[in-house]
């Protein structure tokens, strides 16, 4: 079990080092840290230099904000919020310390009281976002209600963006927060924003950020979440809207990329893939890859969406017949210095050639084997690249045995066998399956063997 100490206990040791052992402040802190770590104490949530200050900036700011609330005077609130945010942005220890000193309650009260004062509510929303970064447990029913109330009444774009960033932060790595926010009908309110004629580029990106956060499944404390349910509801109400926004914001690479990434996160059912294609999404993303051949992030986002769309067999066939295969191969070759693009490209080839020998044949005709081999050769230590490459090789080769010899000619056998040595059990099944489907020698493990005895039925 990890041992911990309170901030006060740590501060006392630092002061004792200064007063009783005549150490300089810096020496006192270093000695205290060394002493506690030697005892196996976790100091990650301790502010190391707080004992050197007569008054903590955090507690000072919180006290002054409390005074503003009591006196209903907020002239100095802006400066105190800015100062507090700067402290909270330094590290997690300061955020935890502030939370223990009632920062969440004070900030939500300030937001509630000043929701019509943009000079106060904007820095207050930014500060509470900093407070809850990596620390989303603070959100309560009062906070969710406050978020929804502001969403309903706000008419200021900058304030809206600050609010959306707070909501997004509350959803990251916290399943209960996601469910509570979703159950508060946040999607209905986000739909209204997306359908507004006054919608700005920045608002689109922030709304997309919230939508993606609502469909995360990243809270290890909960074995089963509702990411799929959330994605299904959002997809039914937003796929056509988001796809319709692509042409509207086609000149903004950031917005285009965020929309494509959001669509990829929402396409969790077969029919949703068809909906996006019917709305013109496939043609648009292929145009993006053609128009922006050297933009790494945009191509990665387009590849992610292409892979998601391949979940529907009809759409998958149309993706290849629309000329995507040479585009994908070209992206991998052109942006081979980006591991994320290479991984996404190999995943695309794997998905598009799965259970489709004809699609696999198209990739052979496009020169994919050499590009795949070169990619795996360039990233021998990357589990994701080797795994996706192995899957692509399998899916392309399993029913194209004659064409698959091209992989062997380019030296894939040595790469796969070296991967077995380098990664062992992590990639054993994937690499051996690729070797097997290429017709190469491979030692497969027999997972279960009978004992040579006849089976009996106790009921006989």
pLDDT, residue 54, reads 47
Q: Please, which residues bridge with residue 3 across strands?
A: 41
Q: Please give the radius of gyration of the chain, using alpha carbons only, rounded to the nearest integer.
A: 28
| Residue 412 covered by a domain | yes
Do residues 261 and 212 lie in contact, with contact meaning Cβ atoms separated by under 8 Å?
yes
Q: Rounded CA gap, 89 and 416, in Å?
A: 45
In this structure, the answer to whether residues 333 and 396 fall within a common structural domain is: yes
Which one, of 283, 367, 360, lies nearest residue 330 by Cα?
A: 367
Length of the chain: 460
- Residue 29: burial class (beta carbons within 10 Å; 0-12, 13-18, 19+): buried
Domain coverage including residue 281:
185-320
Cα–Cα distance list, 402 to 120, 180, 342, 397, 435 (Å): 69, 55, 26, 8, 15
CATH value at residue 358: 1.25.10.10
| Residue 379 covered by a domain | yes
Structure tokens at 244: 């319709």
In this structure, the answer to whether residues 211 and 228 fall within a common structural domain is: yes
Residue in the block written with tokens 């109400």 = 237
| Residue 64 covered by a domain | no
Tally of domains within the chain: 3
pLDDT, residue 452, reads 63
pLDDT, residue 456, reads 61
In this structure, the answer to whether residues 425 and 333 fall within a common structural domain is: yes
In this structure, the answer to whether residues 214 and 315 fall within a common structural domain is: yes
In this structure, the answer to whether residues 298 and 400 fall within a common structural domain is: no
Residue 330 contacts by C-beta under 8 Å, 6 or more apart in sequence?
293
In this structure, the answer to whether residues 298 and 387 fall within a common structural domain is: no
In this structure, the answer to whether residues 201 and 293 fall within a common structural domain is: yes
Residue 371 contacts by C-beta under 8 Å, 6 or more apart in sequence?
329, 332, 333
Q: Rounded CA gap, 127 and 294, in Å?
A: 37
| Residue 177 covered by a domain | no
Which one, of 162, 107, 172, 90, lies nearest residue 134 by Cα?
A: 172
344-373 as b/e: b if 16+ CB within 10 A: bbbbbbbbbbbebeebbbbbbebebbebbb
Residue 37 contacts by C-beta under 8 Å, 6 or more apart in sequence?
43
Do residues 437 and 455 lie in contact, with contact meaning Cβ atoms separated by under 8 Å?
no
In this structure, the answer to whether residues 271 and 364 fall within a common structural domain is: no
Cβ neighbours around 39 below 10 Å, total: 9
Cβ neighbours around 125 below 10 Å, total: 27
| Longest Cα–Cα distance in the chain | 88
| Residue 151 covered by a domain | no
Q: Rounded CA gap, 129 and 88, in Å?
A: 10
| Residue 277 covered by a domain | yes
Domain's final residue, options 253, 288, 320: 320
In this structure, the answer to whether residues 349 and 432 fall within a common structural domain is: yes
Do residues 334 and 295 lie in contact, with contact meaning Cβ atoms separated by under 8 Å?
no
pLDDT, residue 449, reads 67
Q: What are phi and psi of 3, to 5 degrees?
A: -90, 145
Q: What are phi and psi of 234, to 5 degrees?
A: -65, -40
In this structure, the answer to whether residues 208 and 313 fall within a common structural domain is: yes
Domain's final residue, options 254, 286, 320: 320
In this structure, the answer to whether residues 202 and 314 fall within a common structural domain is: yes
pTM of the model: 0.88
Do residues 165 and 147 lie in contact, with contact meaning Cβ atoms separated by under 8 Å?
no
Cα–Cα distance list, 203 to 43, 148, 268, 350, 460 (Å): 39, 17, 24, 35, 71
**3-state secondary structure at position 41:** strand
In this structure, the answer to whether residues 315 and 328 fall within a common structural domain is: no
| Residue 166 covered by a domain | no
Q: What is the pLDDT along the chain (460 residues), one digit of tens a residue?
A: 567 778 878 878 878 888 787 788 878 778 888 888 888 888 777 787 766 554 478 999 999 999 999 999 999 999 999 999 999 999 888 999 999 999 999 999 999 999 999 999 999 999 999 999 999 999 999 999 999 999 999 989 999 999 999 999 999 999 999 999 999 999 999 999 999 999 999 999 999 999 999 999 999 999 889 999 999 999 999 999 999 999 999 999 999 999 999 999 999 999 999 999 999 999 999 999 999 999 999 999 999 999 999 999 999 999 999 999 999 999 999 999 999 999 999 999 999 999 999 999 999 999 999 999 999 999 999 999 999 999 999 999 998 989 999 999 999 999 999 999 999 999 999 999 999 999 998 887 766 666 666 656 555 4
Cα–Cα distance list, 214 to 164, 175, 364, 402 (Å): 12, 9, 39, 46
Structure tokens at 311: 């979940």
Do residues 369 and 410 lie in contact, with contact meaning Cβ atoms separated by under 8 Å?
yes
| Residue 126 covered by a domain | no
């Amino acid at each position: 079990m990890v041992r911990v100490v309170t901030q006060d206990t740590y501060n006392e040791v630092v002061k004792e080092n200064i007063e009783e052992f005549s150490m300089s402040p810096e020496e006192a802190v270093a000695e205290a840290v060394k002493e506690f770590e030697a005892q196996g104490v976790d100091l990650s949530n301790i502010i190391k230099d707080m004992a050197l200050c007569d008054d903590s900036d955090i507690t000072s700011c919180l006290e002054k904000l409390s005074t503003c609330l009591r006196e209903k005077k907020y002239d100095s609130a802006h400066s105190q919020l800015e100062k507090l945010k700067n402290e909270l942005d330094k590290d997690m220890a300061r955020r935890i310390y502030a939370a223990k000193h009632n920062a969440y309650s004070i900030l939500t009260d300030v937001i509630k009281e000043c929701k019509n004062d943009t000079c106060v509510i904007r820095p207050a929303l930014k500060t509470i976002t900093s407070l809850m970064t990596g620390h989303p447990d603070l959100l309560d029913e009062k906070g969710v209600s406050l978020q929804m109330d502001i969403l309903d009444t706000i008419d200021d774009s900058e304030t809206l963006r600050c609010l959306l960033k707070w909501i997004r932060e509350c959803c990251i790595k916290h399943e209960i927060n996601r469910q509570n926010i979703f159950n508060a009908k946040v999607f209905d309110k986000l739909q209204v924003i997306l359908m507004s004629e006054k919608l700005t580029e920045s608002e689109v990106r922030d709304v997309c950020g919230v939508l993606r956060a609502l469909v995360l499944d990243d809270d290890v404390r909960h074995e089963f979440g509702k990411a799929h349910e959330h994605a299904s509801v959002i997809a039914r109400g937003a796929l056509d809207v988001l796809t319709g926004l692509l042409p509207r914001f086609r000149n903004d690479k950031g917005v285009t990329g965020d929309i494509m990434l959001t669509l990829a996160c929402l396409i969790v059912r077969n029919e949703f893939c068809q909906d996006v294609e019917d709305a013109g999404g496939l043609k648009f993303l292929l145009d993006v890859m053609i128009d922006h051949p050297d933009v790494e992030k945009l191509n990665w986002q387009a590849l992610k969406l292409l892979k998601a769309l391949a979940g529907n067999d009809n759409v998958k066939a149309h993706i290849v017949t629309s000329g995507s295969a040479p585009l994908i191969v070209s992206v991998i070759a052109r942006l081979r210095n980006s591991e994320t693009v290479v991984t996404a490209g190999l995943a695309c080839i794997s998905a598009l050639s799965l259970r489709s020998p004809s699609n696999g044949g198209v990739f052979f005709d496009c020169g994919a084997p050499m590009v795949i081999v070169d990619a795996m050769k360039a990233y021998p230590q990357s589990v994701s690249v080797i795994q996706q490459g192995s899957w692509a090789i399998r899916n392309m080769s399993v029913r194209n045995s004659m064409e698959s010899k091209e992989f062997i000619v380019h030296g894939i056998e040595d790469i796969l066998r070296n991967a077995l040595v380098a990664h062992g059990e992590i990639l054993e099944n994937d690499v051996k399956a690729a070797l097997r489907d290429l017709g190469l020698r491979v030692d497969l493990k027999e997972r279960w063997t009978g004992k040579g005895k006849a089976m009996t039925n106790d009921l006989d």
